Amino acid sequence: MGAILELLNAFTNLTTLLASLGMILATSSFISGLQMVKGKGRVERKIHRGNGFIAFGIFGVLAITSFVTYGLSVWSVSGWLAGTLIIAFKLLIVHSRSRRAFKYVSWLGASLITMWLYLVYIHIPL
């Protein structure tokens, strides 16, 4: 019971809520992406793109919130930039349609999930 209350209480923090929503969308996008690699159809593509782009938008909002709240520091700019680069690299590979590069898309997807796990972790209120 205490753990459930603690869990619900965490969502009173806006950035925790946003990071959690991003994690949910990124997971949906990741699963549908894996299904697309298997050759599934248009529904998977829509889920993958829709969830992925909203998650990217939330990523941007979290980055801006972080800069506004804590200011610009080398570590924080490097961290958010690294996340943006992973997302950009993933989009670049997908749009290149090269079969050779396509092999690594699922790895990048896994990197994005790890990135969202970290985002959720740092946004859990103390």
Partner 1 sequence: MAKALWTIALVLASSVLWLSASWAALIRVPQDHKSIQQAIDAAAPGDEVVVSPGTYKENVLIARPVLLRSSAGSSSTIIDAADKSLPAIKVDRASGVTIKGFSATGSNVAGILLTGASDVVLAECLATGNTSGIIMNRTTGSALRDNASNSNAQYGLYMEKSHNNTIERNAASLNQDKGFFISNSNSNAIIANNVNLNTWDGIMLYASTGNTVTGNKTLRNTYGLVISESPGNEVTDNTTVPNLFLILPIVLIYLGVVSYLVQKNLLKAIYKE
Site string for partner 1, 26-65 (x = CB under 8 A): xxx-xxx--------xxxx-xx--xx--------------
Q: What is the CA radius of gyration of the chain?
A: 16
Residues 69-88 that bind partner 1 (CB under 8 A): none
Tokens, residue 19 = 């990071």
Q: Considering beta carbons, is residue 24 or 92 the nearer one to partner 1? A: 24
Name which position in 18, 23, 62, 94 contacts partner 1 (CB under 8 A).
23
Tokens, residue 23 = 């994690």
Among the candidate windows 24-32, 57-65, 82-90, 103-111, which touches partner 1 by CB under 8 A? 24-32
Shortest distance in whole angstroms from residue 100 CB to partner 1: 28
Q: Is 110 in the site for partner 1 (CB under 8 A)?
A: no
Residue with the two structure tokens 């990523």: 59
